[in-house]
Structure 1
Amino acid sequence: MNTKTTTLTAFCIIIINSLLLTAQAPYGSAGEHTAVPLGDSEAPFGYYEYLPLDFDTSSGETYPLVISYHGSSSSGNGTWELDYVLSAGLPKLISNGSDLEAIIISPQSTDANFSATDFLSLYNYIIDSYNINTDRVYVTGLSSGGSSTWNALKEHYDKIAAAIPICGYNLVNDPSVFLQQTPIWTFHNFDDSVIDVSRTISNVNRISDTDSSVMTLYPYENGDDAANEDYTMQFDSSTQTWSIGEGRNEPLDNLAFTLYKDGGHNSWTKTYDNQAVLDWLFSQSINTLSISEKTLDFKLYPNPTSGSVTISTKNETEKKIEVYSISGKKVYESSFFRELTVDLSAYSSGVYFAKVVANDSIEKSMKIIIN
């Protein structure tokens, strides 16, 4: 071994690490996927950072955020094993050349089990370090990462604009009716032998909290075998009922469960490869009803509120707003055109959700927090 070369290499590593320790996020440039090893930042985990093509620190713009959790096979020490997170999910999609419209942070842990506390500590680091639109924070994960997504939803749903848990094992509390207000599109393969589909079924049943299981609508073959096609079950929070449709269909309200007919444990590749899934995710926001310019653009303010909230839009068509308590009970309803102020001072503090219907075809939901 050439000791001079070894010494020079070690010296270069020390210099590079010293520079990284003095650097601050963001670490890469627009369109880049950059490894940020544990210890090179103040983050509680090593992570990969992706910055969208339009990213510009000098613009003053804020950007949507996706926290992407890996599965057990991508676990590692956050340093020299950090590349393991590139093997699946959104990090793999980005590594294969896809460009996404959000900052993507993909942390790594040694056991692929990110708790609700882990979510909050990483969330706080990201918010402090990047220009984030806090109305557009999304969480997703596969396998153990799906479990981590459910963990985040259980305790910090108020910070999450939408979530995509894929074949996760962990369960939410029974019941978890409050999660009806958070857009959630969950996926599982019928024949998953690693994490049984019953785990996702239990979670959506605990969120809907009705007298019958989501699977009462499912068209089993030969008694209890998978159907011949993929199906999506949709939950309507206003009627508290499930419906079903063939295919992979985005949520009509907030909660949807797509059950693939087969595929073993890997239900994530076909999910993330589906552009419609990502389009749905990025259209969600906590305090606006739609990000897409193709639909009505609404604003709700102030939110949180201690009294009244105002909902406004530039569109002049007649619309209806309905406000529901966390238990799903309708507490307010009114029609409006461009702007409406709703007096909520008589209602107890907590989380409510509002649904706006326009032209009998556009229906969106958002959270209202009363202090």
Structure 2
Amino acid sequence: MLRKLYFILLCFVLQSCAAQSKYKLIDAEQETVIKENYSYYLYYPEGYDENPEKKFPLLLFLHGGGESGDSLVYVKRNGPPKLIKRGKKFPFLILAPQNPEKKMWWNTRSVMQLLDTIVENNRVDKKRIYLTGLSRGGGAAWEMAVQYPEKFAAMAVVCGMTPLPYASWIDKKMPMWVFHGEEDKSIPISESETMVSKLKSMGYNVKFTKYPGVGHDSWVPAYDNEELYKWFMEQERQ
């Protein structure tokens, strides 16, 4: 009963905060059915409050291993949360959960339960839910694309790795954009090259951007690329 009351209170807080300013970043925590606690950021774009009937796209961002832990401060180090901290404004909601386990992979079932809760309690266009992740979060993005093939309108993976057989399980209607640094010593670019080559041979819609002279931190130029966000906004599930 206490958990149910907590969930109801959390939903009320989220909706109340949504009416206070044009855009914001919320620190919150959601306990899922399978007992995984996720702290997360939830960003609302400008204009969210102006038309209560309008629905907005949502971007799910999964961070890398270095940002795991018990402090949301770590999540601000890279990707969209870092850009939001600097003052960048996005045209969609951004959900950025934190993996509490520093040495373990993402629990993608828990992530999906959190995502579904956020979608149901906010004005999200379910045809325009986007997925992105870097490094360990990039691997989790590949996994979620396999586990939930009809969920996402588009996916961008930055220096992630994935088993090659995953290629056969990803929805062919979902556009993908892969980024990788050519000098990556942590996750070799061959991980992305092999997967992209397989996907292209099977007729998938996939773009591949390589960064010469860039190591594992290819997420810096990838997420600084304005074309990425324009590309996301052009995608919609049919």
- Flag whether TM exceeds 0.5 (same fold): yes
Report the equivalent of 2:143. 151
Q: TM-score, normalised by structure 1?
A: 0.56
| Residues 1:195 and 2:187 are matched in the alignment | yes
| Residues 1:25 and 2:22 are matched in the alignment | no
- Alpha-carbon offset, residue 136 of structure 1: 0.3
The 1:34–1:21 alpha-carbon spacing in structure 2 relative to 1, beyond 3 Å, is: closer
Matches within 5 A, 1:195-274: 195-209=187-201, 237=203, 254-274=205-225
- Alpha-carbon offset, residue 173 of structure 1: 2.1
Report the equivalent of 2:62. 69
Q: TM-score, normalised by structure 2?
A: 0.85
Report the equivalent of 2:3. none
- Alpha-carbon offset, residue 106 of structure 1: 0.3
- Alpha-carbon offset, residue 22 of structure 1: 7.6
Distance in 1 between residues matched to 2:106 and 2:132, nearest whole Å: 12
- Alpha-carbon offset, residue 188 of structure 1: 0.3
2:123 partner letter: N
Distance in 1 between residues matched to 2:164 and 2:14, nearest whole Å: 33
SS in 1 for 2:172: helix
Report the equivalent of 2:43. 50
Distance in 2 between residues matched to 1:141 and 1:161, nearest whole Å: 15
Larger radius of gyration: 1
Distance in 2 between residues matched to 1:120 and 1:22, nearest whole Å: 17
- Alpha-carbon offset, residue 122 of structure 1: 2.0
1:208 partner letter: K
Report the equivalent of 2:123. 131
**Structure with greater strand percent:** 1
Structure 2 unaligned residues grouped into runs of 5+ = 1-5
SS in 2 for 1:125: helix
- Alpha-carbon offset, residue 57 of structure 1: 7.5
| Residues 1:279 and 2:224 are matched in the alignment | no
- Alpha-carbon offset, residue 111 of structure 1: 3.1
SS in 2 for 1:59: coil
Q: Is the 8 A contact 1:180 1:255 kept in 2?
A: no
**Structure with greater helix percent:** 2
The 1:205–1:44 alpha-carbon spacing in structure 2 relative to 1, beyond 3 Å, is: farther
- Alpha-carbon offset, residue 38 of structure 1: 4.7
Distance in 1 between residues matched to 2:109 and 2:30, nearest whole Å: 18
SS in 1 for 2:94: strand
Distance in 2 between residues matched to 1:200 and 1:117, nearest whole Å: 24
Q: Is the 8 A contact 1:24 1:129 kept in 2?
A: no
Distance in 1 between residues matched to 2:94 and 2:167, nearest whole Å: 31
Q: Is the 8 A contact 1:30 1:52 kept in 2?
A: yes
Report the equivalent of 1:228. none
CA RMSD across the alignment: 2.8
Report the equivalent of 1:118. 110
Report the equivalent of 2:81. 91
- Alpha-carbon offset, residue 257 of structure 1: 1.0
How many residue pairs match? The answer is: 226
Distance in 2 between residues matched to 1:272 and 1:284, nearest whole Å: 17
Distance in 1 between residues matched to 2:14 and 2:37, nearest whole Å: 14
- Alpha-carbon offset, residue 118 of structure 1: 2.9
**More relative contact order in 1 or in 2 (CA 8 Å, sep 6+)?**
2
Report the equivalent of 1:102. 92
The 1:175–1:101 alpha-carbon spacing in structure 2 relative to 1, beyond 3 Å, is: closer
Distance in 2 between residues matched to 1:76 and 1:115, nearest whole Å: 14
**Deviant stretches of 4+, over 6 Å:** none
2:159 partner letter: C
The 1:20–1:286 alpha-carbon spacing in structure 2 relative to 1, beyond 3 Å, is: same
Q: Is the 8 A contact 1:190 1:259 kept in 2?
A: yes
Q: Is the 8 A contact 2:38 2:100 kept in 1?
A: no
Same amino acid, percent of matched pairs: 29
- Alpha-carbon offset, residue 73 of structure 1: 1.0
Structure 1 unaligned residues grouped into runs of 5+ = 1-16, 211-236, 238-252, 288-371
